[in-house]
């Protein structure tokens, strides 16, 4: 067999073997790999090159080595799933870098992390003041996760004592000019509804690159032709504005009337509407 043909055949076999092993080992991102898994990836890449190019050796030996490395990796992953001690031994324990707003210098030195590097990692998370940090932890992967002090955390409906209903994840209902039937059904809508909504955007299904519907039934449309401007409907914002206007009108009526009973009715109605607006504001005003 000519050398070029043998190398081509070896490369094809090695690529298939590496693809199958990669599928078998799972789909972790590079940032989520343990040190051993990272070294295994490098080794398996070298073995694949060996199988492809070393025509002086038996190609199947390289495949055996690939299989053994893949098996070892699977066993270590299984051990980490089953045992905390195995996870700590194979990987790295998390290290606290900031606790109660104070930097732990000993742990910084242990992780060979400088103050400049710590501040760089904080800036990547849009944190520019060390005084804003309550707790920071370096994970086994090397990533630094941060908990801000309570006064610096984002305000949520829970902080205001407001309960909100569960929200479904948004679904792509049109892709590449074709209706995605299953996601549309999951969201509880029909193709007829979709066509009506697209008509409001002055678009046809075949003109749509992507269309996504959220839990409130709002449709976001992106057309193939980027020069076409589709009207954007903000139904929730419009409803919020109308409610605020109605509440202001009730207050105005209470001030303009001389009838005490009517004044009391308007004031009470304005207060009730204001309470309703406060409860539903997180849902309507975004």
pLDDT category of residue 212 using cuts at 50, 70 and 90: very high
> Tens digit of pLDDT for each residue in 267-280?
888 888 888 888 77
Higher pLDDT, 119 or 40: 119
Does the structure show a pLDDT above 80 at 230?
no
Choose from 15-19, 63-67, 80-84, 132-136 the range with maximum mean pLDDT.
132-136
Residue 29: the pLDDT is 47
Residue 134: the pLDDT is 93
Q: What percent of the chain has pLDDT over 90?
A: 20
pLDDT category of residue 260 using cuts at 50, 70 and 90: confident
pLDDT category of residue 120 using cuts at 50, 70 and 90: very high
282: its two tokens: 């997180």
Choose from 146-155, 186-195, 224-233 the range with maximum mean pLDDT.
186-195
Higher pLDDT, 1 or 138: 138
Residue 285: the pLDDT is 53
Residue 69: the pLDDT is 78
Residue 218: the pLDDT is 82
Region for 140 from its dihedrals, namely left if φ exceeds 0, alpha if ψ lies in -120 to 50, beta otherwise = alpha
Round the average pLDDT of the chain to a whole number and report it: 80
Does the structure show a pLDDT above 70 at 137?
yes
Residue 16: the pLDDT is 78
pLDDT category of residue 119 using cuts at 50, 70 and 90: very high
Work out the average pLDDT over 6-21. Answer: 74
Question: How many helical (H) and strand (E) elements, i.e. helices and strands, does the chain have?
Answer: 10, 8
Beta strands across the sheet bearing 144-148: 102-103, 95-99, 133-138, 144-148
Higher pLDDT, 66 or 97: 97
> Tens digit of pLDDT for each residue in 164-201?
667 778 899 999 999 999 999 988 899 998 998 888 88
Does the structure show a pLDDT above 90 at 122?
yes
What is the crossing angle of helices 235-256 and 260-284, to 10°?
160
Higher pLDDT, 10 or 118: 118
83: its two tokens: 């045992």
Nearest CA among 149, 145, 124, 126 for reference residue 136:
145
Nearest CA among 244, 248, 239, 245 for reference residue 284:
239
Q: How many CA atoms lie within 13 A of 27 on its CB side?
A: 0
> Tens digit of pLDDT for each residue in 27-74?
554 555 666 666 777 777 777 777 776 666 676 777 777 778 778 778
Residue 105: the pLDDT is 92
**Alpha-carbon separation of residue 202 from 205, 228, 249 (angstroms):** 10, 10, 35
């Amino acid at each position: 067999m000519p050398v070029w043909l043998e190398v081509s055949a070896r490369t094809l076999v090695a690529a298939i073997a590496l693809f199958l092993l990669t599928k078998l080992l799972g789909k972790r991102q590079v940032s989520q790999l343990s040190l051993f898994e990272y070294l295994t990836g490098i080794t398996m890449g070298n073995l694949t090159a060996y199988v492809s190019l070393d025509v002086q050796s038996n190609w199947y030996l390289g495949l055996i080595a690939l299989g053994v490395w893949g098996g070892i990796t699977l066993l270590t992953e299984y051990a980490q799933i089953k045992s905390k001690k195995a996870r700590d031994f194979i990987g790295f324990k998390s290290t606290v870098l900031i606790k109660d707003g104070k930097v732990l210098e000993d742990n910084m030195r242990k992780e060979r992390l400088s103050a400049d590097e710590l501040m760089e990692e904080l800036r990547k998370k849009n944190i520019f003041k060390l005084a804003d940090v309550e707790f920071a932890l370096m994970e086994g992967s090397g990533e630094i996760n941060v908990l801000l002090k309570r006064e610096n955390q984002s305000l949520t409906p829970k902080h205001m004592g407001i309960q909100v209903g569960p929200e479904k994840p948004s679904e792509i209902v049109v892709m590449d000019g074709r209706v995605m039937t299953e996601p549309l059904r999951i969201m509880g809508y029909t193709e007829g509804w979709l066509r009506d909504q697209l008509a409001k955007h002055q678009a046809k299904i075949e003109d749509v690159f992507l269309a996504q519907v959220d839990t409130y039934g709002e449709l976001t449309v992106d057309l193939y032709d980027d020069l076409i401007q589709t009207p954007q409907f903000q139904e929730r914002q419009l409803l919020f504005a109308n409610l605020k206007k109605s509440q202001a009108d009730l207050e105005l009526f209470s001030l303009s009337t001389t009838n005490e009973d009517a004044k009391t009715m308007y004031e009470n109605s304005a207060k009730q509407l204001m309470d309703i607006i406060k409860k539903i504001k997180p849902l309507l005003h975004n």
